[in-house]
Structure 1
């Protein structure tokens, strides 16, 4: 069972306070989820790679800090602070963190 970090009773969360980088690999924290969406904070250690995969839901990536490259449908998309990327459901994608990289991933219901 996942405990949401935000809720109707506690609706505000400072994402910077939740950034925590592992020595290697990925650390993810589900901030909130319901039947329509899921918000997850990802912190990747420098050099971490996530191999190509797909998701059955539409998604967005909002980069908070760090740098990396998202390969989306075979095209390289630079990830820098402030970048916002939309990924349609079932779009193949992979990721590499050039430095410690933090982003908010939002999965939403498809229409």
Structure 2
């Protein structure tokens, strides 16, 4: 039996990515689509004001904003990103983010 590499999403069906996670007041909701030693793909929905504190990761992280707006800090510089935009956070550089308003993102980390 072949190992399933993508999970938590129905195969052979068209999906609206933005609708696979829902907002919950005061929470960060996540849905892992794939995770292994070299790749992680996760959907997130952040309620306004929720954040991920500054940290660093061993891989490059690509954030694709699906809905709303977020402030993203990378190495001490702040970027505001909105729906349709992509931001890449380099490996081993401190980064974090905060929901300026409700926002959803697809996070792809490549190690």
Give the TM-score normalised by structure 2: 0.84
Q: Distance in 2 between matches of 1:56 and 1:12?
A: 32
User: Does 1:5 pair with 2:8?
Assistant: yes
2:19 counterpart SS class = helix
Aligned partner of residue 21 in structure 1, secondary structure: coil
Contact 1:57 1:90 in 2 (8 A): yes
Stretches of structure 2 that go unaligned for 5 or more consecutive residues are: 1-5
- Gaps of at least 5 residues in structure 1 are none
Match of 2:80 in 1: 78
Is the CA contact (8 Å cut-off) linking 2:69 and 2:102 kept in structure 1? yes
Name the residue aligned to 1:41.
43
CA distance in 1, matches of 2:54, 2:92: 11
2:54 maps to which residue? 52
Contact map agreement 1:4 1:33 (CA 8 A) in 2: no
The superposition leaves residues 10-29 of structure 1 with CA deviations (integer Å, 9 ceiling, x where unpaired) of: 47542122130121121111
Q: Distance in 1 between matches of 2:44 and 2:104?
A: 6
Task: Compute the displacement of 1:6 (Å).
Answer: 4.1
